[in-house]
A = this chain, B = another copy of it.
Amino acid sequence: MKKSALQRVRAEYQPKLPKALQGPVKLNIGEATESVADQEEIKKLFPHTYGLPIVQFETAEAAERVEEPFNVGIILSGGQAPGGHNVVSGIFDGIKSLNKECRLYGFLMGPSGFINHQYMELTAGYIKDFRNTGGFDIIGSGRTKLETPEQFESGLKILKELNIKALVIIGGDDSNTNAAVLAEYYKNINAGVQVIGVPKTIDGDLKNKWIETSFGFDTACKVYSEVIGNIQRDCNSAKKYYHFIKLMGRSASHIALECALETQPNVCLISEEVLAKRMTLDNIVNYLCYVIAERAKLGWNFGTVLVPEGLIEFIPSMKDLISELNDVLAANGAALEGLTEDEKLEKIHSMLTPVNADLYKSLPKTIALQLSLDRDSHGNVQVSLIETESLLSQMVAKRLEEMAEQGQYSGKFAAQHHFFGYEGRCADPTNFDADYTYALGYNAAMLINSGLTGYMSSVRNLTDTTENWIAGGIPITMMMNMERRHGHMKPVIQKALVNLNGRPYLKYASMRETLALNTLYQYPGPIQYFGPAEVCDRPSMTLLLEHDKEI
């Protein structure tokens, strides 16, 4: 593998560890815990792993336990996030610090490698090339869900074969939920295998008091903010386009919000707000047109709009339409066969209830077709394929024409579209994410050595210096509640949506009108690794605000 100049230099970076993890540790055991909600149900479902205490590591004079060599297995689960390779490096260095004979195995391409016994040993020489780099290519990742007893049993075979004492699952809320189920399962059958979770997701929706942020969020947002800033410079130089920029984040708008705080666009839509205010597509289009018309009065026919990927599903009326479309199309697939696109649209329109029919008719044709024709294997609308950024700009253009006819608008409107996702998920981690993930991994090794299972690796106090970060573990069951999934009530980790009473949102909301009617773009520029700390080491603005710091 030939490396770029930056890779070669960056390979030498030694991630910083919290003071508590810099030498031998001792374990402080806290109070027993309760789940965030539905305590009775969760307790019933997790008899062996419910109510465990929060634990925290402290520096010790000497190691509390000197462990026989043990082996650890790792699974990278779901979408990539910057820093995954440093979690692996951290675990490796952590277990080697305990005993040089410890071994680390990686299951290939996600949970399927675990179930199907595809794995490799991760040696010092192999890991070396991946330290401080982005991506999950060290062992690959996958989206297979690890949730059935058959899978658990199949996995157990290879764990036993490799003499693996603990399995670390690096994933988002669903993968960590499954880690908890697996921990309970193994505990129940006395399998002698611990399971530890590591909080990963660029979407930022796996967080709470003990998990202050999921890893990768910091880096991904900074990459997106870099290119958004570049686009804003262009926008403000050419002064002739509205750029509609869609950003990842289907279930929550943390990414869009963080990028808005970083770049100060003219508009940033927040899905959670749209839902809370029960806004319609019309409301959103009208707001955009208001901003555009007001800017036109100032002579500015340009601007930037950030759109979270999941917006459509947070608009109650669109959700109703999609739901009815799913039913109508499932029941009437045959009737649509052989029709032209126009005939299909007409036919579908005639089958919808009046309110949904009206909304359907108001959509641009390309979007109506995306909603009607592209189905997933379950026959459902593929919401992720809908070009929301284009939907909005087309509807805005149409509305502006009407406004112009009524003398309410006299500007020029032209749009450009962008969607950023893959650009940031595998970026080389920022210093923050490089340190955070290394600490999460190292800390996971210590949790394993302490004999714990069903815990998530927790590194906190993240807006302080790395030295002062707090390392420990949180029982996963503690973060759970019961939610309806595919028609059944299930125990799941509560997803963190954008809190409309939280400081990050309130900060943006307080600037919103000013940003809309002025041009106050910020240009964060590319992630830096070698410069002054204020440039290289600043955590996300979301985290700073959540910790009552100023930005």
Contacts and interface: CB of A to CB of B under 8 A. Distances in A.
A155 to B, nearest CB: 21
B239 A522 contact: no
A226 interface: yes
Contacts of A523: 4, 7, 133-135, 428
A422 B230 CA distance: 7
Interface stretch (A136-144, A171-179, A278-286, A398-406): A136-144
Contact of A137 (B141, B231, B237): B237
Interface string A232-258: 011111110001000000000000000
A535 to B, nearest CB: 5
A3 interface: yes
Contacts of A418: 422-423
Given A340-B340, A426-B230, A80 B531 contact: no
The count of identical subunits is: 2
B9 A423 contact: no
Contacts of A532: 9, 530
A426 B529 contact: no
A381 B67 CA distance: 72
A428 B7 CA distance: 21
A372 to B, nearest CB: 16
Contacts of A342: 340-341
Interface residues of A, number: 62
A237 to B, nearest CB: 4
A134 B230 contact: yes
A254 B417 CA distance: 24
Contact of A423 (B231, B340, B428, B529): B231
Nearest to A533: B5
B428 A5 contact: no
Contacts of A426: 230-231, 233-234, 237
A54 to B, nearest CB: 33
Given A6-B535, A135-B233, 14 more contacts: A3-B522, A5-B535, A6-B531, A9-B535, A80-B233, A134-B233, A135-B234, A135-B523, A136-B237, A140-B238, A230-B424, A231-B426, A340-B340, A341-B342
25 contacts: A4-B522, A4-B523, A6-B524, A6-B526, A6-B531, A80-B233, A109-B239, A133-B233, A134-B523, A137-B236, A137-B237, A140-B237, A141-B237, A141-B238, A223-B526, A231-B422, A231-B423, A235-B422, A243-B422, A418-B423, A427-B525, A427-B526, A526-B528, A528-B530, A530-B530
Minimum-distance CB pairs A-B, first 9: A233-B426, A135-B233, A530-B531, A526-B526, A136-B237, A6-B525, A234-B426, A530-B530, A137-B237
